[in-house]
Structure 1
Amino acid sequence: MPIQIPHWRPEAPLQKLTLPWLEAAGVELACLRLDLVDPLVSGNKWFKLAPYLEQAAAIGAQGLISLGGAHSNHLHALAAAGQRFGFESVGLLRGEVQQTPTVDDLQRMGMQLHWLGYGGYRARHQPDFWTPWLARYVGFQVVGEGGLGLQGARGCSCLLAMAEAQLADIGWPDFDAWWLAAGTGTTLAGLLLAEQRRQVFGAQAVPSGHGVASQVATLLNEAGASGRSFQLIEAARAGFARLDEPLHQFILETEQASGVPLEPVYTGKALMALRDFCKSGQLARGSRLIFIHTGGLQGRRALMGASADYTQV
């Protein structure tokens, strides 16, 4: 059965955060809680997926096929959306067969999985990579790794209006800048497509060699918006999806102080990078920032222990 366009337009609340290091720096922070839009189709993932679903419906596609790792938030949200909205989903996974909490969920939600090994996964950028898969899954819509692509970016442009509509609710006439984690740079690019005047900071959750800057530049160029400026901040620490003890402690302390759950791959690192940015005096006192909580709480389970049930944080 061809995909039907879901009539679901989630909204995320804007919540002010009060933390000691923010007060010391004289900086105000509000969090756009994308983690609250849904327990499974969570965070920025839906906003990146929605345009692909619209395209799939327009061409009469049977399902969606994408890539990711054994802990992928993107595949998790895709599988959950497929289960909820009644379309088939296929995941091509990095590495060898393994069972993780995420993989367990993907299987339970009905996603068809194929393990590519590491060499096979590295071939995903080759021009003929998708040919055999689309021959096997005829009529499926391809979605880039992590939702990467101009469609995914455009799906995130609505976050600007979503936040601006709630400024009066938190007593802000305006704000100065955005702060968010960057993995593929898709959400960052989408925000830049909408934002005309405020500063945008992307905290790189991946090492600098992963090409976030070039990916964002490519997306902006494709959209005819190559003049938009942004600043990338190093936040990968020991590497992608690595959890060291200072980060672990920061997450626990911040959650206790704010009541906002974090995970160590993206949101924890991004907020820790903002703390360090504030401590180094790189933001003027009186600055107001919006931090985008990009979700991904299901990833807590693998890195923060079996007790870290993301549905109960």
Structure 2
Amino acid sequence: MSSHAAASRQSTDETLPPDGATVLSAPQGALSSPAAVASSATVTASPIASLEADSSSAGGGLEALLELFTLPRVERLDWRVAREAGVVVECLRADTLDAEISGNKAWKLRLPLARALSEGRGIISCGGGWSNHLHALAAAGARLGVATHGLVRGHPEAPLTPTLKDAMANGMHLNFISRAEYKQRDQPGFSARFSDALWVPEGGGSVEGVAGLEPLAQALVTTCNGEPAPQLVLMACGSGTTLAGVLSALGERDGLRVIGVPTMNHGDQLYHRVRRLLARSGGSEQKTPEWGLWLGAQAGGFAKAPAWLIDFIQRFEAETGLQVEPVYTGKLFASLAHHLANGMIAPGTRVRVLHTGGLQGRRGYPALDAA
């Protein structure tokens, strides 16, 4: 089913919970530390980094946009499975940055937006009918006066999703293309068939996207109110850009392990994509923290939401008060719950989870809010 073909996504029971999850990574060490006690805390990192020199000519437009954001707060989750495992689980609440440009999206877009402003150009990108990336890009473009163009995998005669309605309301021009055309999106000159605007790959997956994540990366490891820094950092992965950006920004760092949780089938391929992004960004695996992937959390594939996942999210939200969605953060916390329940994280470990936002996508899963 095309992601544009219906106004709500359908649940599927194709797969079981991630009991068979596997790890793809560099050599692993034990994750342990003295037990820590913390409460809701605020990141005490320095202010948002200034734009890189080659983007400084963009003027005050992007800075004005970023003034809407502060570095996100860190909250400790009151979560039974974590307490029973003797593990501290914190969440970096990047979902709270902005109603439309939340999570990791603003950070991946900030340098392309600066370049578009500097060069007086629009931006063209691509995504599905429920794309968080296109949703955020359209909103940012509307606030900055940057024209935006979205190439959408789908059919123009199908009902518009709420995501695409929002994008159009924010002035984004939409072109609907076939799946066959969409598969060519990484080929040179692909976007030029539709527009001469600045091309931003799907999900912001570019060198600029990687570089723009530096402030968010630092917030992921900043100590809060004198408490110890995390030993394990987790994030859901789609394009792998956020994982590459965090690894590149943090560099070598003893006692820290960074884990990505792929949310689509063939997640093992993400390992090679992250390495390529690191290489193109001037980094190397020797200059990153120890890192790896937890495989097995895809729940049938990208944007699939079997009944067990919907049930998990409802129970998780009721217990923790933290709202998530099925595409990324729901699968991320389901994978973490599996590792905690099976004793796969050493007691005393402090875990920090990146909430990447995307809550607008919950509208595609009406079962989540069913009584």
Deviation per residue, 1:182-215 (Å, 9 max, x gap): 0000000111012232100101111125731121
Q: CA distance change for structure 1 residues 163 and 179 in 2, over 3 Å: closer, same or farther?
A: closer
Distance, in Å, in 1 between the alignment partners of 2:91 and 2:166 is 28
What corresponds to 2:345 in structure 1? 283
1:47 corresponds to 2:99:
no
1:112 corresponds to 2:173:
yes
Distance, in Å, in 2 between the alignment partners of 1:307 and 1:18 is 22
1:213 corresponds to 2:271:
yes
1:271 corresponds to 2:333:
yes
Q: CA distance change for structure 1 residues 179 and 104 in 2, over 3 Å: closer, same or farther?
A: same
What corresponds to 2:86 in structure 1? 26
The one-letter amino acid paired with 2:240 is G
The one-letter amino acid paired with 2:78 is T
Report deviation, 1:95. Answer: 2.0
Distance, in Å, in 2 between the alignment partners of 1:303 and 1:214 is 31
What corresponds to 2:162 in structure 1? 101
What corresponds to 1:132 in structure 2? 193
SS at match of 2:351: strand
Report deviation, 1:223. Answer: 2.3
Distance, in Å, in 2 between the alignment partners of 1:276 and 1:45 is 27
Residues 38-47 or 8-17, more deviating: 8-17
Distance, in Å, in 2 between the alignment partners of 1:224 and 1:102 is 35
For residues 38-187 of structure 1, what are the structure 2 equivalents within 5 Å? 38-61=98-121, 63-97=122-156, 98=158, 99-133=160-194, 137-138=195-196, 140-165=197-222, 167-169=223-225, 172-187=227-242
Q: How many residues align?
A: 300
Check whether the contact 2:101–2:139 (CA below 8 A) recurs between aligned residues.
yes
The one-letter amino acid paired with 1:112 is H
Distance, in Å, in 2 between the alignment partners of 1:105 and 1:212 is 30
Distance, in Å, in 2 between the alignment partners of 1:272 and 1:164 is 22
Task: Quote the RMSD (CA, aligned, Å).
Answer: 1.9
Residues 156-165 or 272-281, more deviating: 156-165
What 5-or-longer segments of structure 2 have no aligned partner?
1-56
Distance, in Å, in 1 between the alignment partners of 2:368 and 2:209 is 32
What 5-or-longer segments of structure 1 have no aligned partner?
309-313
Q: State the identity as a percent.
A: 37
TM-score (norm. length: structure 2): 0.77
What corresponds to 1:224 in structure 2? 282
Distance, in Å, in 2 between the alignment partners of 1:292 and 1:180 is 5
Distance, in Å, in 2 between the alignment partners of 1:64 and 1:306 is 34
SS at match of 1:261: coil
The one-letter amino acid paired with 2:324 is L
Q: Post-superposition, which runs of at least 4 consecutive aligned residues in structure 1 deviate over 3 A? A: 2-5, 304-308
What corresponds to 2:243 in structure 1? 188
What corresponds to 2:62 in structure 1? 6
Distance, in Å, in 2 between the alignment partners of 1:247 and 1:47 is 28
